[in-house]
Copies of this chain bind each other. A is one copy, B any other.
Amino acid sequence: MRKVLKGNFIFTRIFGEYEIYRDFYLAIENGKIVDFFKFLPIKYKNWELIEYKDKMIIPSFMDIHLHGAQFENIGLGMDLPLLPWLETYTFPEENKFASNDYAEKVYDKFVKDLIYHGTTRACVFGTIHESSKILFDKFIEYGIGGYIGKVNMNRNCPEYLQEKNSYEETLNFLDYTINKSDMVKPIITPRFIPSCTNELMEKLGKLAEEKKLLVQSHLSENKDEIKWVKELQPDTSYTGAYQKYNMLGEKNISIMAHCVHISDAELPLMQNENFYVAHCPTSNFALKSGLAGIRRFLDNNINVGIGTDVSGGYTLSMRQCIVAAVETSNLYDTYVEKSKPLSMCEAFYLGTKGGGKIFGNVGSFEVGYEFDALVIDDNSTLPLEKRLEKFIFDGKNEDIIEVYAKGVQIK
């Protein structure tokens, strides 16, 4: 698997800086970028050469928080805040995934729509059901990568979604998935503090450590939810509750979605190179969760990526979420506290390399990185950085003519 692509590349190696290679060659071997050059060296003369001419090539998107089983609910029931929204719209939909046939149908559409929107890696919640394995296999089938979680819930939810053997079913899911793919991996996925008993959380934390698995969950999304967590875990903060179970990156990468209402006291708990905030700005707008202060995390050396949080978020479009991240930062500066807004370049970094680190070296065009990319045919003659920004703000998905994941053209 060796090829050379020629075209116009733009990406963000460094937070806040575009790096641009116009009319450059990029050599890929076994899915990884091995070289980058202005003139084609003789040693590559026999490699397959693909000429993209005027097209723009950018890193594909890394969606670090979303719910595959909520795909059919996109754009529905955006009239309620988190807790009643879960009860009214989300849990009944997730219940349908007890059926493998239903799961097969929806997960197939879901993964296609991810690719349509230019996403090639994702951290995804399935449901409590066996059918989460189908989601896992769909990622393999379509050639995209990421972490797939069978959700853990053994309290405070409708009976039909309350697991009796949450831990054992997690082991079963791991048995099926753990060494199945190079690009798709299982991830420990307690829904959030309210839905898992302390005993289960304890066991899941240990399991993650033992099997070297990542952990994903929700943290500090909504004020009512935070109050509820305080009742359940009165001796600590919401962040502190995850710390109890080693779920803040102590043992392996942890991804916590939202982090909207984080107190100063909680901030140091998040300062771990393996901890990631999954910023979900469209979801926070829609569910009235509040404005997350992303600059504050970045200034405190806390990792941040972007998630669409479908279907709290109403689109799988990472472009729209990147725009919403900029908008959130604008509003945060005006209405919460003085804080330098994110530039588009910074938000683009978060949606590509920022979240991409979770999946290894991906989300940037650097030597040694896996080549995940979008080839864009937008008929534009603008300078590349303007062209990129225009594409993010108001591009058309139809203009994404090719999609690469780990060097393989999947669209």
Contacts and interface: CB of A to CB of B under 8 A. Distances in A.
A363 interface: no
A330 B328 CA distance: 13
B74 A393 contact: yes
A380 B394 CA distance: 25
Contact of A331 (B331, B391, B392): B331
Contact of A75 (B320, B327, B341, B390): B390
Contacts of A341: 288
Interface stretch (A54-62, A332-340, A353-361): A332-340
A344 interface: yes
Given A291-B331, A330-B285, A330-B288, A393 B336 contact: no
B327 A394 contact: no
A130 interface: no
Contact of A74 (B331, B344, B390): B390
Interface residue SS majority, chain A: helix
Interface in A268-318: 285-286, 288, 290-291, 314-317
User: So how many copies of this chain end up in the complex?
Assistant: 2
A386 B335 contact: no
Contacts of A334: 288, 290
A48 interface: no
A75 B331 contact: no
A326 interface: yes
Nearest to A287: B330
A243 interface: no
Nearest to A113: B394
A343 interface: yes
Nearest to A285: B327
A118 to B, nearest CB: 14
B333 A393 contact: no
A285 B398 contact: no
Interface in A36-72: none
Nearest to A385: B76
Contacts of A335: 291, 331, 335-336
Contacts of A247: none
11 contacts: A74-B390, A74-B393, A75-B389, A75-B394, A78-B326, A78-B389, A78-B393, A285-B330, A314-B323, A316-B394, A398-B398
Given A79-B343, A286-B327, A288-B341, 5 more contacts: A78-B344, A285-B327, A285-B331, A314-B323, A335-B336
